[in-house]
Amino acid sequence: MIQTRIVLLFAVLLVTTAAVADATEDLTKAEKISAAATENRQALNFDGKAFSGPAWDRLIAEGRVAQFFLVGEEHGIAENPKLVAQLFSELSSSGYSRLAIEISPTMASLLDAALVKDGLDGLRTLFSKPGGEPAFFGMAEEAEMLAAVRKAIPSGQPVLWGTDYEVAGDRQLLKILERAKKPAAARLALDNLVAASAASWAEYAETGSPQFIFSFAGDPALVRAVSEAWPNPDPGSAVILNTLEKTLTTNKLWMQGKRWESNQERAALQRQNFLRYWHAETQRGEAPKIMAKYGGSHMVRGHSQTAVYDLGALLPEIAAIEGGHSFSMLILPGAGSLLAGLNPSTWTYEPHPAEGGYLKGLEPLMNAAFEETYTLIDLAALRPLVGMSHKNIDNELFRIIHGFDMLLVMSGSNPSGELEHD
């Protein structure tokens, strides 16, 4: 009798287990990911001035033990730079002393100097000059972030690391080159470059057509001619010449339809510039903690959305070599959000709905977001479920889960505004 009952109980267990398994199989991979994301989410509260809550505490804890804190974003969300400013200010006591951003090294130095001299008003003065306003940082919240970051670190040391090319600042960079001591032949070649820049910007002013922005219209051969006539420039001039040539080369490839080559050129420049900063610091016996804020494709670990290896691949490797690790977060707009986008014809920022872009394919994650507050999702916790195969999962969803440690969804976020200046 006892044996019969045991057999019957075992049979019931088998049937129950099979039923549960069948029910689990009925769920799609996307539904399983969404359920797991819901289980691994935390709320980030924001009252319009300060962030708080369990997600805030988690971000601070992660930042304190990391060498690099990488923030990938969808540009134009007003709350993004506010969060980065508060994170950097809080984490400066844990050793963070540099903010890497999506502008050229020389423009970063100009912004830094303007902030040291006169804070936010210093940026307004710089931005009022032709070519003085770099892309993205003419948004009010972005400029305010730079001022907050600069304030968190003693003014005797630089805080901004620019690793990118230069979209609109060639006129400012050329003025610096004109003041530098150089051979007569280099001066003549530079005159040709300056004239070409001025003519291109004059066309832009008259037509409003982005094709005349010099970084897209200029010929890199004009910069090479200056470099060839100037064999031993001072370090600052060498950086500017490299920035100008790489900018024009990158954008010329883009205009020719060679999109992969263009992105590869830009990624190589980003990595080169970051390593120059890093080597200079480490040669002095220092290894600063660094926060980096870029578009999401620059910060993803591994192969980026543009099929290149960018800073998001480099920085975790440097941290690992140094015996530490990096932490990376992607910030995206959620339901009811608006973004600010640059209108290149007027060089102003205009609001538009948050759709497409980085959101494509990420519905299983976005569906796990809270409706009335911001949501931090632990992506590392989802990796065992996703595994190593792309089978039954969107390629971009796979890339994001493995390429970032956390996702922050900002439901109801606002578009950035314009920084007022002359």
Report the alpha-carbon distance of residue 159 to residue 281 in Å, rounded. Answer: 12
Taken as a whole, the chain contains a residue count of 422
Q: How confident is the model at residue 38 (pLDDT cuts 50, 70, 90)?
A: very high
3-state class (DSSP) for residue 78: coil
What are the extents of the domains in the chain? 28-164+259-410, 165-255
Lowest mean pLDDT among 15-24, 36-45, 293-302, 375-384: 15-24
Report the alpha-carbon distance of residue 310 to residue 314 in Å, rounded. Answer: 7
Q: How confident is the model at residue 13 (pLDDT cuts 50, 70, 90)?
A: very low
Whole-structure pTM value: 0.91
For residue 250, pLDDT beyond 80: yes
3-state class (DSSP) for residue 28: coil
pLDDT digit string (tens) for 140-160?
999 999 999 999 999 889 999
How many DSSP H helices and E strands does the chain contain?
17, 11
Q: Which long-range contacts (CB under 8 A, 24 or more apart) does 226-229 make?
A: 226/177, 226/186, 226/189, 226/190, 226/193, 228/189, 229/183, 229/185, 229/186, 229/188, 229/189
Report the alpha-carbon distance of residue 348 to residue 139 in Å, rounded. Answer: 9
Report the alpha-carbon distance of residue 333 to residue 410 in Å, rounded. Answer: 5
Lowest mean pLDDT among 76-90, 367-381, 383-397: 383-397
Exposed/middle/buried for residue 30 (C-beta within 10 Å: 0-12, 13-18, 19+): middle
Average pLDDT over residues 48-57: 97
Q: How confident is the model at residue 1 (pLDDT cuts 50, 70, 90)?
A: very low
Chain mean pLDDT for the chain: 92
Q: How confident is the model at residue 26 (pLDDT cuts 50, 70, 90)?
A: low
Cβ contact 406:377 at 8 Å: yes
Report the alpha-carbon distance of residue 180 to residue 277 in Å, rounded. Answer: 22
